Amino acid sequence: MKRTYLGEFEEIVLLMVAGMDGEAYGVGITHKLNEETDRSVRLNQVHAALHRLQEKGMVASRLGDPTPERGGRRKLLFTVTAYGYRTLQEIKAVRAQLWSTVPITPKLATSL
């Protein structure tokens, strides 16, 4: 199977979905991203990334139960697919391999 490459933001969103274990939704991912990465992320950016990940087959969505807090509306919940999880594992392995080549005390540039 041909490997699908992810941008940094898509990878982070996919990791968030995996970490939320079937309870990931747009607003929750946005809040968690803002807290965990110290980035200023907007909901529309998260929705766009989720859409791309769904098109690539890395996440699946389902409607959650209606809740009184949402006025009876249902959340669109996301879960990582087997393909998405496998992709995360491959990315992790590649990064670990690359990090293993970096010396403990690398020669750093002294000026730009």
Identify the CATH number of the domain in which residue 18 sits. 1.10.10.10
Other CB atoms closer than 10 Å to residue 61's CB: what's the count? 17
For residues 103 and 112, which has the higher predicted lDDT (pLDDT)? 103
On whether residue 2 sits in a domain, the answer given is no
Other CB atoms closer than 10 Å to residue 49's CB: what's the count? 25
On whether residue 61 sits in a domain, the answer given is yes
Contact residues for 63 (Cβ-Cβ < 8 A; gap 6+): 74, 75, 76, 77
- What is the per-residue pLDDT across 47-94, written as a single tens digit (0 to 9) for each? 999 999 999 999 999 998 877 776 778 889 999 999 999 999 999 999
On whether residue 51 sits in a domain, the answer given is yes
On whether residue 62 sits in a domain, the answer given is yes
Indicate whether this model's pTM tops 0.75: yes
Strand partners, 76: 63
Domain count of the chain?
1
Q: What is the pLDDT of residue 85?
A: 96
The answer to whether the beta carbons of residues 20 and 29 sit under 8 Å apart is yes
User: Which structural domain range is residue 33 located in?
Assistant: 8-91
Q: What is the pLDDT of residue 40?
A: 92
Q: What is the pLDDT of residue 42?
A: 95
For residues 16 and 73, which has the higher predicted lDDT (pLDDT)? 16
